[in-house]
A and B are shown apart, each in its own frame.
Chain A
Amino acid sequence: MPDDYKPENSKPATSTSRNEGGCPVHDWATDFDVMDEGYTTDPSPIWADLRERCPVAHTTRWGGSWMPTKYEDIQKLANMVPALSSKTVTVIPPDPILREELIAELKRYGTENPPITADPPEHSPFKRLILPFFSPKSVAGYQKMTEDLCNDLLDKIEERKTAGNPMCDGAVEYAQQIPPRVIAYILGIDMARADEFTQWTQELLELGQTDPELRRSARQKIMNFFAEEVAARRVEPRGDVISQLLEAEVEGEKLSDHKVAGICNLLLVAGIDTTWSSIGAAIYHFSTHAEDRHRIAAEPELLPTAVEELLRFYSPVTMARKVTEEIEFQGADMKPGDKVLMTFPAANRDPAVFENPDEVVLDRKQNRHIAFGTGIHRCAGSNLARMELQVALRLWFERFPDFEMACAEGVTWAGGQVKGPRNVPLRLLG
């Protein structure tokens, strides 16, 4: 472990009866903690150490899991389908009560949020069902709306700057505001409730990881919301994505209301936290790296490769898989029921694949990053995320070519399933 890494500085996570966070990690190979503050802030030295001596780490914390750290291994594991099942994909498993509820729902309705929680052969028809909504052609149709939205947000920040206040929070006032409105627009739900959607998603994916009751209530709120939206469109179709899902057929059969609500739940949740984290991380990066900032301001044509590089470096998403058969992999004895983390962010820092992996190189030429995953569960919304990132950054730089971090201590990172900065205090320059 590098000397500058001090796990004893970690803030304890909320502790319950399970073996979870709270006590310092002594050996990351056998006792890693994905909720450790040091891991959330800068996991790269930990992965580098594990790649050398492990390379698949294990922990009993948070329900127990395996953590691969090499690009090649993560590619292989992500493609071991369905030996590694997607039936449960959460990094921190639900508490027993919620788990019982989920199992009961699974029995009643089959797969809960397809295609993300489905294995072959069920997976493919559901993935094909949602992919056209996020094809490059469809996403081009959402660009104008995204541009208008970004400009409105930038107007507000600029107004305040003109009035003499150059401070703003790039995460709260900008990054966080964009994805919920874009996905609400696409789904055809009320954009005015975007703050609620963000709150539910944050409770479910972020705060709920260490607070089972919050996670349960957030999930309930989202499912109830979509149950109503779906019911309304059964009576009166509106031509939006929800109405189209109600008309769609999978293997010759219409989808139940519950399944449509489950898919909508997935599209909303997956579309918010992840992209918000990526846009926030990009702004954080440019606020703390003057050279890169000046370069993008001078050469905005670099944005397409720069966006991919920032996705590589600040990869937000870690998924999980459940082992369904005995697997011996790189010295790890994986047993049925075990959880394996899809540590895509670790893969993207592997020096065997990326030259100087811990440096951001805005025009990196070789960049086979897997921030959106790999294999059949590749993120269905990757084109949408890429468009949002490019639009958000291009318009930001047109408006505010120069800015800087105002308070490094004020930056807070969410971790676990989705990593991203929740506060990015900035000073706008010029």
Chain B
Amino acid sequence: MRIRVNPNLCQGHNRCFSLAPELFEVDDFGLASAVNDGNVPTGMEDKAQLCIDNCPEFAISVVDGSE
């Protein structure tokens, strides 16, 4: 599973970072990006999905479609 944060949509709510600091990093302005080039470690897919489903800006998505 690979995920991506769309930098044009992210407004820095940091919901993803607060739910899964292992999967995201945020800068001083709150803008998030996925760590490890978006590759989600095996076993953390549910957590990644939780972050996708909690983003108020619909900014996180699965990029390669394989889950």
Known contacts A136-B14, A375-B11, A376-B11, A131 near B29 by CB under 8 Å? yes
Identify which of residues 10-53 in chain B touch chain A, using a CB-to-CB cut-off of 8 Å. Answer: 11-15, 17-19, 26-30, 50, 53
Mark interface residues in A351-391 (1 if CB within 8 Å of B CB, else 0).
Answer: 00000000000000111111010111010001100100000
The reply to whether the CB of A308 lies closer than 8 angstroms to some CB of chain B is yes
Name the distance in Å between B67's Cβ and chain A's nearest Cβ. 16
Query: Which residues of B sit under 8 angstroms from A136, Cβ to Cβ?
Result: 14, 17-18, 26, 30
Query: Which residues of A sit under 8 angstroms from B7, Cβ to Cβ?
Result: none
* A370 lies within 8 A of B56 (CB): yes
Query: Which residues of B sit under 8 angstroms from A369, Cβ to Cβ?
Result: 56
User: How many residues does chain A have at the interface if contact means C-beta atoms less than 8 Å apart?
Assistant: 24
* A366 lies within 8 A of B15 (CB): no
Known contacts A365-B53, A376-B11, A378-B13, A131 near B28 by CB under 8 Å? yes
* A368 lies within 8 A of B55 (CB): yes
Q: Give Cα distance in the complex from A374 to B26, angstroms.
A: 18
Query: Which residues of A sit under 8 angstroms from B11, Cβ to Cβ?
Result: 374-376, 378
The reply to whether the CB of A336 lies closer than 8 angstroms to some CB of chain B is no
Query: Which residues of A sit under 8 angstroms from B15, Cβ to Cβ?
Result: 308
Please, which residue of chain A has its CB at the minimum distance from the CB of B57?
A374
Mark interface residues in A186-223 (1 if CB within 8 Å of B CB, else 0).
Answer: 00000000000000000000000000000000000000
* A135 lies within 8 A of B29 (CB): yes
* B14 lies within 8 A of A382 (CB): yes
Query: Which residues of A sit under 8 angstroms from B27, Cβ to Cβ?
Result: 135
* A366 lies within 8 A of B29 (CB): no
* A382 lies within 8 A of B29 (CB): no
Q: Give Cα distance in the complex from A370 to B27, angstroms.
A: 21
Please, which residue of chain B has its CB at the minimum distance from the CB of A344?
B56
Known contacts A367-B54, A368-B54, A376-B11, A137 near B18 by CB under 8 Å? no
Name the distance in Å between A236's Cβ and chain B's nearest Cβ. 27
Identify which of residues 297-339 in chain A touch chain B, using a CB-to-CB cut-off of 8 Å. Answer: 304-305, 308
* B13 lies within 8 A of A372 (CB): yes
* A308 lies within 8 A of B54 (CB): yes
A-B pairs under 8 A by CB, number: 56
Please, which residue of chain B has its CB at the minimum distance from the CB of A305?
B19
Q: Give Cα distance in the complex from A365 to B15, angstroms.
A: 13
The reply to whether the CB of A128 lies closer than 8 angstroms to some CB of chain B is yes
The reply to whether the CB of A120 lies closer than 8 angstroms to some CB of chain B is no
Partner of B28, one of A137, A305, A376, A378: A137
Please, which residue of chain B has its CB at the minimum distance from the CB of A139?
B14
Known contacts A308-B15, A375-B11, A378-B12, A135 near B26 by CB under 8 Å? yes
* Central interface residue in B13, B28, B29, B56, by most chain A CB within 10 Å: B56
Q: Give Cα distance in the complex from A367 to B18, angstroms.
A: 14
* A382 lies within 8 A of B54 (CB): no
Name the distance in Å between B38's Cβ and chain A's nearest Cβ. 20
The reply to whether the CB of A132 lies closer than 8 angstroms to some CB of chain B is yes
Query: Which residues of A sit under 8 angstroms from B14, Cβ to Cβ?
Result: 136, 382-383, 386
Q: Give Cα distance in the complex from A338 to B54, angstroms.
A: 32
* Central interface residue in A367, A369, A370, by most chain B CB within 10 Å: A367
Name the distance in Å between A372's Cβ and chain B's nearest Cβ. 6
Partner of A368, one of B17, B18, B56: B56
Q: Give Cα distance in the complex from A106 to B30, angstroms.
A: 30
Name the distance in Å between A45's Cβ and chain B's nearest Cβ. 25
* B53 lies within 8 A of A366 (CB): yes
Query: Which residues of B sit under 8 angstroms from A132, Cβ to Cβ?
Result: 28-29
Please, which residue of chain A has its CB at the minimum distance from the CB of B50?
A365
Name the distance in Å between A235's Cβ and chain B's nearest Cβ. 29
Please, which residue of chain B has its CB at the minimum distance from the CB of A374?
B56
Mark interface residues in A254-268 (1 if CB within 8 Å of B CB, else 0).
Answer: 000000000000000
Mark interface residues in A150-183 (1 if CB within 8 Å of B CB, else 0).
Answer: 0000000000000000000000000000000000
29 pairs across A/B with beta carbons < 8 Å? A128-B29, A131-B12, A131-B28, A131-B29, A131-B30, A132-B29, A135-B26, A136-B14, A136-B30, A137-B28, A304-B18, A305-B19, A308-B54, A365-B50, A365-B53, A367-B53, A368-B53, A368-B54, A368-B58, A374-B11, A375-B11, A376-B11, A378-B12, A382-B13, A382-B14, A383-B14, A383-B18, A386-B14, A386-B18
Apart from A365-B53, A375-B57, 4 more pairs, CB < 8 Å: A131-B29, A370-B56, A374-B11, A378-B12
The 3 A-B pairs with the shortest beta carbon distances in the complex, nearest first, are: A366-B53, A132-B28, A378-B11
